[in-house]
């Protein structure tokens, strides 16, 4: 399942995939794969992404 909430939050902070990736210590391809739904990030990576984007785990990663 695509993670459009992550993509929107990243865009809302005016960050590219590469900038977010650098901030959390992964490759741009990893961020791309998460947004496409092709990669399930670890909880540690999820938390790092949330901190950079000022969002909660529920806001970015909880599936309804």
Q: Would you put residue 40 in left (φ > 0), alpha (ψ -120 to 50) or beta?
A: beta
Query: Within a domain: residue 61?
Result: no
Question: Structural domain of residue 48, as residue ranges?
Answer: 4-54
Domains identified in the chain, total number = 1
Mean pLDDT, each 10-residue run in order, the chain (64 residues)? 94 98 98 96 97 97 83
Query: From CA 64, how far away is CA 48, in angstroms rounded?
Result: 22
Query: Within a domain: residue 60?
Result: no
CATH number at residue 12: 1.10.260.40
Query: Within a domain: residue 39?
Result: yes
pLDDT reported for residue 1? 80
* 4: its two tokens: 């459009």
* 8: its two tokens: 């929107």
Q: Of the candidates 45, 42, 59, 44, which has an alpha carbon nearest to the alpha carbon of residue 7?
A: 59
């Amino acid at each position: 399942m695509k993670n459009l909430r992550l993509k929107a939050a990243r865009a809302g902070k005016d960050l590219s995939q590469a900038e977010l990736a650098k901030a959390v210590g992964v490759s741009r391809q990893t961020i791309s794969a998460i947004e496409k739904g092709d990669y399930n990030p670890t909880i540690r990576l999820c938390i790092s992404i949330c901190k950079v984007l000022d969002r909660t785990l529920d806001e970015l990663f909880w599936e309804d």
